[in-house]
Amino acid sequence: MNYNKAIIVGRVSQAPDLRSTPGGQPVATMGVATNRLWTDKSGQKHEDAEFHTVVLWGKLAELASMYLPKGALVLVEGRMETRTWEDNEGNPRKMTEIVAEEIQLGPKPAAPSRKQRSRSPPQMTYRS
């Protein structure tokens, strides 16, 4: 049995970049940072950050671009996908991304600005 599922909870490190395919399908790419805290054998605390590229399609792309500024808390559920291509010098390149199937927006900021207040979404989960 094979199972391809990724679930991350983190902060938006790069705001969603909304664009459209030639066929008119909305697509967005954003960065999400996750942290890991641990204590080594000597009692020293450490923290690591991982940066993930998340691709969103359709309505998820539009919602993310409207409601997920840099720094916002988000839960992303999706699948891992690796793209391959050749760069300008003909070298093979690979990139592994999370293709979002569902997102859940984090809590609203404590004191949103006037602009953000008018665009605050309901606390919900969105599916593609």
One digit per residue, the tens of pLDDT, for the chain of length 128 reads 899 999 999 999 999 999 999 999 999 999 999 999 999 999 999 999 999 999 999 999 999 999 999 999 999 999 999 999 999 999 999 999 999 999 999 887 666 555 555 555 555 666 76
Name the amino acid, one letter, at 70. K
Domains of the chain: residue spans and CATH: 6-127 (2.40.50.140)
Residue keyed to tokens 């080594």? 40
Question: Which two structure tokens, joined as six digits, stand for 36?
Answer: 């890991």
Question: Rounded to whole angstroms, what are the CA distances from 51 to 8, 20, 44, 71?
Answer: 11, 24, 23, 13
Spatial distance between the Cα atoms of 28 and 22, rounded to a whole number of angstroms: 14
Q: What stretches of 21-69 adopt beta strand conformation (E)?
A: 26-39, 45-57
